[in-house]
Structure 1
Amino acid sequence: MEEKFTFEELQKQYSDQNLMIADLQRKVRAFESSELLKSRIVEVFRATPRMMAISDMVEGRYVDVNEFFLKTLGYTREELINKSSDDIQLFAELVQSDKFIPKLARLKRVENFPVKLKCKNGETRDFLFSADSIFFGDEKFLLTTYVDDSESARIIEMQNRSWDNVRDLFESLSNFVLALSVDEEGSIVVQSVNPKSREFAHVSPDKYQGMDIHSVDIPNKNIILEVVAKIALTGNPEKLPLLASGSDNEGYYLGVNLTSGEIIILWEPGKIQKSRERELLMQADVFERFADMIPEVVFEIDIKGRIIYANLKGLERFGYAKSDLNEGLTIRSIFGQEQLPLVFENLRKLDRPGTSSHNEYNVFARDGSQIPVISHTFAVFDNQDKIIGYRGILTDLTERKAIQDQILREKAYLEILIESAPESIVQTTLDGRIERINAEFTRVFGYTHEEVMGRYIDDLIIPEELKSEGGHFTNLAANNETVSIETTRMTKTGERIYVSLLIKPVQINDETTALYAIYRNITEKKKDIETRNVILNISNAALSQTESTDIYSIIQHELSRFWKTKNFYIVLYNDENKTLTLPFYTDEKDYFTEIPAKGTLTAWLFRKLEPVLMKVPEIDALEASGEIGLVGTPCLVWLGVPLIVENEVLGAMVLQDYENEDAFSHDDLRLLTLIGNQIALAIQRKKMMTRLIAERAKAEEAAKLKQQFMSTMSHEIRTPL
C-alpha cells in the first residue's frame, strides 16, 4: 500500500522547503476577495436583531441599514439609502447629533450614548446609541447601533424571522497540496490530496485518489504536468509561475521529489495574492470586531463538535477565554450529556444548503449555572456540498424567561381572582363578542363556557327593549370610556334580574384591545327597596283611602311590581256564617264574590296557618285525600298567604297561574309573606278605622237626638198648660 504524505513528513525531508511550507500555511488563510468578505459582513449585519446602520464618514449618508432598523423606525430601504440622519430628522433633539460626532472623533467610538429617535410616523423613542469606525479595504465607514431594552420580545421575534437570511458567518480558507507518483508504465497517479484543497481547486480527495492526473480536472493542470516532468528528469525541486513572462505576480507551483518517489506539488501565492492576503487578514480582523459588536453569542463548531470560534460576548457570557478554545472545548461542556442526543438530532436535520434550525436549550456556563437560550444554527458546506462544520447564534433568554415567568404568575393570580370573584365577569372583544366568562357568570345567568364563547353578550342577557342601551354602552367602552350603571339583565331561563354594571376597557400600549364587564346581582337589594316602598304605599293607602275597594286596587298595583297580578284575589273570612268574601277578585277564568268556606283550598290554608306554594301534584293529592274540593278552574301553580293579626285569621291573599307552573318560586313566597303581614295590619287598621268612624257617627247621632230631646223638653217646660 502506497504511503500518503503529510506536511510533517515533507518538513523532515526538505528543511529548505519546510520554512516555505510553514510560511504558506500561516499566511494563506483566505482566497476570497475583499468584496466576498464584505458580503459576508453585510449578511450578518442585515440579519442581526438590533438596529444597525452603516454610513460614510464624510457626509454621514447611509450606505446600508439592516431590516430591524427599517422595521423599528417604519422606513423602507429606498427612503434611507444616500440620506443622512439630518435629512430624515432622525434625532428628535438636534443637539444630540452634535454631541456624539466630536466624541467619536476624539475617542474613535461612542458606546451607550442616550438619544431620542423620531420614527417615520412622528413617534419619539429612547435608545442607547453606539458607534464605531470600520474599514472595507481602504475605505472607512461608520457603524452605528441603537438598543431599546423594552423591545427584547420583539427582537426575539424579528430574529426568528430574519435569521433564515444568515448562511455564512465565516468561510474556511485553505492551501493546496497534491501528492503524485509515477507508475511503472509512466502514468502520473494522484496519491493524496489534502482535504482542504477542495475549497481551492475543487478537488475531491475521495474521488480523485488513485486516478491518472490526465483524467482529473485540476486548475492549471498543464503547469503541474510540466513541473512533474522536470522533476522526473532532473530530480530537483522545480518552480513554475503562472505567467509566461516568468513573473510570480500571479503565483507559482512548487514541486519537490521525495526519496520514496512521490512528487509533492504546492501552490505558492504571488505578490498580488500576498498583497490581497494582507488585506484579507486585516478585513478578517474587522470582521471579528464586527462580530464582537453583536450583542448575541456567535459560535462555530467543527464536524466533531469542537468549538473553534466564539465572539467575545459568547466567551464572557459562558465564562471562558480564547485559550479554552485552543485547548479543545466541545459542545458537550456547553449542552451537557442529557441534551446532546437532541442537539445531534437537530444538527442532522441540517442536511442541505439553505436549511437552518431554531431550537431552545438550557446550556451550561463554566461555573455550572444554566442559561436558557434559543439557537439559530446552520451547516457550512464546501464546494462539493459536504458538511464541514456548523455556525450560528445563541440568544440569551434569561431575561425573557424571567419576564415570561412573571407574566405567568400574574396571569395565574388574575385567573384565580377572576374565577373566585363574587361578581359575574365577562371579557369581550371591542364589538361585544364573548372571549371568556367566570364561574359566577355561569351561576347567575345559567350559561356555560361552551354556550357563550364567540357569541355577542347583547344577544344573550339583554332584554329586547334594552338592546339599544347595550350597544351604546359597548361603543362607549370601546372608545376608552368607563360605564357604571344599574340596569336590568336576563338569565338563560328568561328571569329578569337587577344588576350593577361596570364596563372597563383593557388597554395595551395605549390601545384598547378588549372589554371587561362586571355584573353584581343587586336583585335582592332592589327587592328590599321595592318591598319597603310597597309596604309604605299600602300603609299610606290604608290611612288615606276611605273606600276598601280603593285600598285593594292599590294593593294589586303595588304587587304588580314583582308579579303578574291578572289572577289575584283577596279573600276575607266570615267566622259567623263560615263564608269567604272576596272584596277584590281579578281572574282570567272565574269570578266570585262570596262562597262557602268549607272544602275550599283557602279554608285549608286557614287551618294550616302558614303560607304555601302548591302545584298540580300537591293540589291533586289534597283533593284525593278529601281535605279539599276544588272550586273554580284548576290552576298550574297556587301561591297563598294567610292574613293573620294577633292569631286571628282575617283572610288570605292569593296569586295563581294557569299557564306556567314555574311562575312563582319559594323566594316569591317569602316576599309575599312579608308583604302579606303588612297588608293584614293595613286591613286591620282599615277595619278599626271603619268601626271608629261608624261608632263616631252613632255617637254623633245620639248626641244630636239628645240635643233635640233636651230642646223639646225645655220648650215644654217653658210653655204653660
Structure 2
Amino acid sequence: MSNTVGNANEILERITDGFFALDVNWNFTYVNSAAARLLFRKRDNLVGKNIWSEFPEAIELAFYRHYHKAILEQKPDNFEAYFPPLNMWFEVRAYPSLSGLSVYFQDISDRKQSQTQKDEHYKSLFEQNPDAVYSFDLNGNYLSVNPVMERMLGYSESELLQMSFVPLVSKIDLDRAMEHYKRATEGITQRYEVKALHKNGTVVYLNVTNMPIIENGKIVGVYGIAKDITDRQSEQDELRKTKERLESFVHNNADAIWVIDLENRVLEINCSFETMFGYSAKSIIGKNLPIVPDFLNNFIQEVHSKVRTGVSVVGLETIRKCKDGSLIHVSATLSPIVDLKGNVIGITGICRDITSRKKAEETLKIKSKQLESFIENNVDGILIFNQNGKVVHSNKAFDKMFGWTREEIQGAHLYDLGFIPDEIMAEVKRFEGKVKQGMFIFGEETIRVRKDGVKVDVILSAAPIHDAQGNLDGWSVTLRDITEWKMSQILLQNTEKLSVAGQLAAGIAHEIRNPITAIKGFIYLMKNGFGDKEEYFKIMSSECERIEGILSELLILAKPQINKLEHSDIQLLLTQIVDLLKTEAIMNNVEIITGFLTEDIHINCDENQMKQVFINFIKNAIEAMNKGGKLTIQTQTRDEEKLMIQFIDEGGGMSEETINKLGQPFYTTKETGTGLGFMISKKIIDNHFGEIHIKSEVNKGTTIEVILPLINETANYLTEDSIN
C-alpha cells in the first residue's frame, strides 16, 4: 500500500499541473510542488490548513461555488476563473470523492491574455462598426446587438434581446426576409434589401447580409450585418419619381415634344407631336425631323448650331409643316441634351400651336385699326383718359370742335383742360364718380368751353374702360356739338307755339263765344223787360264762372314750370287726396281701394301740382262710373329707379280713337268739361320727368299709369369726397 501511495505521489510530483487534495473539512491533505509554485506557498505551510482560511479571497470567487457544487453533486466540474491576489487565470478540474476533493489546475494567464486581446478586437469591431451588427439564435431571437443597431431602429439593447426580428420587418417584406433567414440557418450566406420598422413607426431601408454561426461544425445561429440605405433609397425613389414625372410630362404634355441627335435624327416624340403634325412615332423614329418647311431650313440649321453649343433658345415663334403639307404657327423652345461629362449629345424641342392666337392677333390688329379709324374719323369729339384722369388720346373732331391741338392736351388732367365751366364743375365730378364706379353716362346735355372762351352746348356720353382682368383702366368721353340743333329747336318751338296758339285761339273763341252769346242774349232780354231777371242773373253768373274756369286753366297751362320741388312721400300724398275725395266717392256709390307699398316712397315734386293731377284722375274715374263701382289705386316700383301709380276704374271705358285725342285742347268726353284737364295733367307729369300711359276698353273700364322717377340718394348726393 505504501508503494502504491509513493508511486502516486511520484506521478503527481512530475506532472506540470498543480494538484492538491482536500478532505471533507476543506483542509489540504496533499499539495504537489507545481501547486506550491503556482500558489506561491510552501507545501508544508498548506498541508493540514483550511483552504478558505488560507485563501479567504476565493470565497467570493468562482472557486468556492464550483468546489461546493462538485462535492454536493458528486460530479467532476471544469471551469476557468481569475484569482486577483495572484493576477492569474486558472483552468481548474475538480474531482469529488466521499473523502474529499482532488483538484488539478494550471496557469492559463498567457492564453487568457491572448484571448482577451482577441475578444477586445472583436468587441471593438462589434461596437465600433459603422453598420448594425447582431446575432440570432435558430429561432430568430436576438442574442447580441451593437450600438448602431440601437440607433438605427430606435430600440435599446435590452428591448431587442427580448425580441425576434419578425416584428421589425415590414409586412410586405416579411415572407422574403423569413426565406433569406432560413437559408442562412442552412449554411448559405444571404444578401438582400428589406424595409425595417423604426420604433417611431417610420420605415428604414436596409441592405442586409446574413451568415451562419458555426461551432464545432454545427450551425448554432445567424450573424447579421445591416447597412442603412434609407438616404440612398430615398434618392433612388426620388430619381425614379423624377424619371416618371419627366416621362409623364413628355408623354402627357399638351405641347408637342421631340428629341433628336446631333445628326438631326429623331430619337423620340410624344403623343401631342403625333396629333399636332400627323406623324406616327414608328414612321419617323431614326429619320430626319420632317416638320421644318424648306424655306426655313437654313434658319433652323443656324438655330440648331447655336443649341449644340449649349445655349437654349426660348420662345422662338416660327412656322412648322404638318404631314398633310399645311403650315402652322408655333412657339418653340429648343434645349441641349448633355451627358454626365457636360457634352451636348442631342437636342430636345417643345412647341405649342399658336395658329389660333396668331389669327386672333391679326384680327385684333385689324379691329384695333378699325377702332382707331372710327375714333379718329368720328364726327363727335372723343377724349380717352387713363385711370388717373389724364388724357391719353383725342381725335381730330375734338381738336376742331374746341381748338386745342393734341400736343397741348396730351397728358393733361381732366380738370386742367380748361374747357369745363366753373358753374358745372360739381356735375363733372359727379359724372366722373359714376364712371369710376363702372356706370355709364348716356346723352347728358351740358356745356363746355372752347379755347377762345366761347361756350358750346354738347351732348355728353361717358363709358368706363377695363383691362383684360376687368379692372378699371380709364374712361372715354364723347362730345357732340348741339349748338345748331339747339337753335333749330328754339325755332321749332316758336313755330309750335304759334301753331298751338292758333289752336288755342280757335278753341278759346269757340268755347267763350257760347257763354258770351248767352250773356248778350239775356242782357237783351233784360233790356227789353222780358222774363225773370233773377233767373237770367243765375244763368249769366254760371256762364261767367265757366269763362273764368277756362281762363284759369289756360294760365296753368301757360306756366307749367315747377315752382317748388320737395322730397315728398308720394303714398302719404295719395292717402290725403283719397281721404279728401272719399265723401264724393261714397255719394256716387264708388268704393276706393288702395294697395300701397309697405315702405316709404319719396319723389321730388311740387306737391300742389301733383295733388292737382291726382285729384283730376280720381274725379274723372268717379264721374266715369255713373252707376257706381270700384276705383283701385295702387303703387309698385319698376327697375328700382321708378314708381308706377295706377288708377283703375270700372267705368264705361274709351275707344282707341278717343284715347288718341286725349290731350288736345278743349277735347272732352264730359258735358261740363273744358278739355284742358288731361292736357294740363300731362304737362305737369312731363315737367316732373314722368310718363302717362292709358289702357282702356269700352264697357270694361280704364287704367291710367303714372310713372315717376324715385329719389336716387346716391346719385343726387355724390360729393367730391365720395368720388375720391
**TM-score under structure 1 normalisation?**
0.33
Per chain length, whose mean CA-contact separation is higher, i.e. which structure has more relative contact order (CA < 8 Å, sep 6+)? 1
**TM-score under structure 2 normalisation?**
0.33
Larger Rg belongs to: 2
